Amino acid sequence: MLIIFDLDGTLINTIDDLGQACNHALAACGFPTHKIEDHPRLVGNGINRLIERALPQEHRNEATVLRLREHFVPYYDAHNCDLTRPYDGIPELLKALKAAGHTLAVASNKYQAATEKIVAHFFPNIFDVVLGERVGIARKPDPQIVWDIIEAIGDKAIGDRLYIGDSLVDAATAKAANMPFAACTWGFCTREQLQTAQPDYTISHPLELLNISNIL
């Protein structure tokens, strides 16, 4: 089975490091910062959208977003593993899935360099393909990232597939790619929000995924 995971809010809790980097960029450019606990509502569509949502309404334009990004990216590159941690049960889940012979991939809206670094740091030698935001490639919920994973995997992508994520963006991505969707409720969206997307499965702990038919 090909199992595709979202990264932020699904495999790892990145809010503290994302919030610190966002506040660093805001402060560097003279804008008010936000409480760290307010950042879950800002994430999910890539760094540029995070910055845009964090800015005061009257300053939400491309030039300002790009100016803040110049501060955000170097800071985040240096600190993106400081406070970030895998969710409880994720290492055990991935070990079990790998042992069972499943093909595992990451599909993230985080920019590619940070996605690769974080996955390599926390989950070395686990994933067959790791893709994030790339220049010229539409972000999720566009399904292109799924097609790119399937192309990269080749014959291993033949057969059953499952997409796992914590947001409505992930739900829409899975639907666009015609894949069953498992909604995880430990991330950045509430169970109630996720249920509006009518997921195929809803899980409240990573190891519950092992109870889904055909996983083990």
Tokens in use for 136?
């010229």
Burial of 180 (0-12, 13-18, 19+ CB in 10 A): middle
Gap between the Cα atoms of 120 and 18, Å rounded: 18
> Which position among 6, 8, 166, 170 bears the catalytic label?
6
Contact predicate 45/165, CB 8 Å: no
82 is catalytic: no
Residues 163, 165, 171, 174: what is their CA dihedral angle, to the nearest 10 degrees? -20
Q: Which residues are catalytic?
A: 6
